[in-house]
Amino acid sequence: MAAQNLQSVPVELSPEEEAAGKATFDRIIAEDSRIEPKDWMPPAYRKTLLRQISQHAHSEIIGMQPEANWITRAPSLKRKAILMAKVQDEAGHGLYLYSAAETLGQTRDEMMDALIAGKARYSSIFNYPALTWADMGAIGWLVDGAAICNQVPLCRASYGPYGRAMVRICKEESFHQRQGFEILLELSNGTPAQKQMAQDAVNRWYAPALMMFGPPDDDSPNSRQSMAWNIKRFSNDELRSRFVGMMVEQVRVLGLTLPDDQVRFNEDTKKWEHGPLDWHEFQEVLAGRGPCNAQRLERRREAHDDGAWVREAAAAYAAKQQAKQSMTTKEYAA
């Protein structure tokens, strides 16, 4: 098995070792320090991380598609370059995250197989279609904005490899939200038709973006455990509320409106509130009944299957070269 030395692999331990491992784990969490791959960890902690990190990775990879679809149609060469660099970053972020997940003992191939078999989840927002150019703006501003809200606290996640991946991702992603905002700003300051396009995109992506933070706290039993483990730092509702507050400010600069007349700052709780969200729709999309689920998975499956012969060729070539090399070495020794 590759990289056993670097990976976290569950092994049989004596009760004493198990107890010592748990004590160390608890101490590290209590001290708000970091768990590293070879540390003992509770099976549920490992499972939670694997699920969360791989879902996060899948989201980056599937999330490339709605934007990649617009690379060839970007309306200016500058925008084309920006969009290409952004989608490329998303591939990179997927890779950073798969690597982090791999330290927990699952290979990327296993994760990829689960994804294309439809057995793994990814952020449901990428099952919505990107219909106009303004969607590139709304995705950058709202979707990446929400993602960054989620991700910045994850830079301090208790699992070291995850936190380090998030640091890298957040650094790179700082341009993603800005470019989205600027796309919308240009459109909003453009012709009436352009402004309408921008407002329409904001209207369509607003609610799905808010739902990216996950179900309401009352409905999210796993959240509490994740917070106890210092994986999550803030609850879903808390992050969502903060995000709404930021959007309220920014949408004014854009000269657009949020499609939610119930947004308000609650003076008592000191939190931003928003109108009701359609959690039924969220569950439906998550369960595979969204507008683009089949299309997104098919595209990934196709790329993976069409690429199989290339990956095989490179692996075969490497094996041949290695065989050749060891032959030469033997000849030399003889």
**100-159 positions binding other proteins, by CB under 8 A:** 100, 102-103, 107-109, 133, 148-149, 152-157
The radius of gyration computed from the CA coordinates of the chain, to the nearest angstrom, equals 23
Tell me the closest approach of the beta carbon of residue 275 to other proteins, in angstroms.
Answer: 23
252 binds other proteins (CB under 8 A): no
Number of residues that bind other proteins (CB under 8 A): 107
Residue 273 bridge partners (DSSP): 264
Task: List Cβ neighbours of 252 (8 Å cut-off, separation of 6 or more).
Answer: none
251 binds other proteins (CB under 8 A): no
Nearer to other proteins, 283 or 329 (CB): 329
230 binds other proteins (CB under 8 A): no
292 binds other proteins (CB under 8 A): no
Nearer to other proteins, 161 or 290 (CB): 161
Nearer to other proteins, 44 or 81 (CB): 81
Give Cα separations from 329 to 149, 317, 318 (angstroms). Answer: 55, 18, 16
Binder among 1, 30, 333, 334 for other proteins (CB under 8 A): 1
Tell me the closest approach of the beta carbon of residue 78 to other proteins, in angstroms.
Answer: 8
Task: Check if the beta carbon of residue 64 is closer than 8 Å to that of residue 127.
Answer: no
Nearer to other proteins, 74 or 125 (CB): 74
312 binds other proteins (CB under 8 A): yes
Contact range with other proteins by CB under 8 A, out of 35-43, 209-217, 254-262, 287-295:
35-43
Binder among 38, 47, 224, 289 for other proteins (CB under 8 A): 38
85 binds other proteins (CB under 8 A): yes
Nearer to other proteins, 85 or 117 (CB): 85
Binder among 9, 170, 248, 286 for other proteins (CB under 8 A): 170
88 binds other proteins (CB under 8 A): yes
